[in-house]
Amino acid sequence: MITNSIAIAFSILVGLILLLPRTRLSTQWRATVTPLASIIGSGFLIVAPLLHSVMGKWALLGIVMLSFVAYLIGAIIRFNIIHAEPLLENKTSDHIVQLEKASQWTLGAAFAISVAFYISLFTAFVFDRAGISDPIQIKVFTTMLLGLIMLIAWLRGARGLETIELYAVSIKLAIIIGVVAALATYDWQVGSAWFEHNAIKPLSKFETLSMLAGMLMVTQGFETTRFMGERYSAQQRVMAGKYAQWIAIALYVVFIGLTCPIFLDFPITTLNETTISKTLGQAIWVLPILLLIAATTSQLSAALADTIGGGGLLKELINLPVSVRGYYMLIVSIAGVLVWTSNVFEIINLASKGFALYYLIQTLIAIIIMRKYVQHQRFHTLKIVGLAVMMLLLTFVIGWSVPAPHS
């Protein structure tokens, strides 16, 4: 009872603090909310069972590795905000302009995949609490929900989206901190061993790395700062990306660490979309309720954001005499096809490949800029070598990542 009370109390307290006018109206916080909404919306509900089922007692190392790679990619995006955007605006380099356009095509496709993931995860949580397991019913409801997303995007467009994200992120952050506080209390009370639980099945090192690479999507979202230039300065967007990644990395690492004893006491036997809710619910009964609230607030707002972001991006790229609402329909239609042809872990892996391709092209842009336009930086050669290594890692994600086994 104490653990449940701590979860609720911390959630309410943090929620009130985040919704105070001083926090809510801060320009820098509002800039930080968009990338943060995408990062913690991308995978917080799914990352723990994914890592624990694939890596077992090494799950904490897995999230540290993913977070480290994601932060380095975020640094590349922030480098391009400062150095590539002026070149693109002035069309100084045709090569950079062409690469940027190619990267945006891949990002538009990744947005569509993300929408399918967000809505699939949302409906999985809702139907799990309702006790419905028929996959056809779930897919039909998911398709109807995608239609609702299409209608909202058609009627409302981008108006008020930032405000929706602000409240959704505030609620989800409050719940996450409440969950973390409850997990810390549970671990202290039961005194279970740490780092002794096993993966669902033995995997080779290559298989483990391939599945870990397929989880890159759960750390993405920081790239949204590239497309916020109309509202915020370059420096504000750079700091927003840093703040968002620092907060998300801290939450992911602490959360994965604190769930280690629980996944030892309640081992994963089947891996699906709601494993985290069922596992944590065996230890602390209030957590599935809090996670359901987190799922409904974050996944819907994230799906709407990616629908609008992807539609706007495709409108700029294709540039046909068609309303942007037509491109919203295209994004949602692609998501609908994925919902009917793939499970959520296959969608995560496919999205990881899409975002990895976008990051790969952005890394190539950074290398060109480093070699031709920014040759005076310290450790210049070392940075170019680091960018080349990052391209190899992203190539591995694109070519060899595989989804975790869905039950």
Residue 407 is assigned to a structural domain of this protein: no
Q: 126-163 burial by CB neighbour count: b if 16+ within 10 A, else e?
A: bbbeeeeeeeeebeebbbebbeebbebbbeeeeeebbe
Tokens 């955007």: give the residue.
Answer: 85
* Residue 405 falls inside a structural domain: no
Q: Side chain identity at 151, as an amino acid letter?
A: L
In this prediction, residue 276 carries a pLDDT of: 84
The whole-number pLDDT of residue 270 equals: 79
Both tokens of 1, joined, read: 């009872």
Does 51 reside within a domain?
A: yes
Domain range enclosing 342: 2-400
Distance between CA atoms of 271 and 345, rounded to whole angstroms?
10
What's residue 366's pLDDT?
Answer: 94
CATH number at residue 135: 1.20.1740.10
Please give the pLDDT value at position 4. 85
| 380 occurs within a structural domain | yes
Residue 83 identity: H
Q: How much is the pLDDT for 158?
A: 55
SS3 191: coil
Provide CB contacts within 8 A for 371, sequence distance 6+.
384
pLDDT of residue 402: 94
Residue 406 covered by a domain = no
The verdict on residue 26 lying in a domain is yes
Encode the chain (407 residues) as per-residue pLDDT tens digits. 788 888 889 899 998 998 888 888 888 988 888 788 888 876 778 889 999 999 999 999 999 999 999 999 999 999 999 999 998 888 878 889 999 999 989 998 898 898 888 888 888 888 877 777 788 888 888 888 888 877 776 776 555 556 676 787 888 889 889 999 999 999 998 888 888 899 988 899 999 999 999 999 889 888 888 888 877 899 999 999 999 999 999 999 999 999 999 999 998 877 887 888 888 888 888 888 888 888 777 787 777 777 777 877 888 788 777 777 788 888 888 999 998 998 888 999 999 999 999 999 999 999 999 988 876 777 778 889 999 999 999 999 999 999 988 76
Q: Are 195 and 52 in contact (CB under 8 A)?
A: no
Torsion of CA 389, 361, 77, 30, to 10 degrees: -140
At 157 the pLDDT is 59
71, part of any domain: yes
Q: Does any domain span residue 373?
A: yes
Split into its structural domains, the chain has a count of: 1
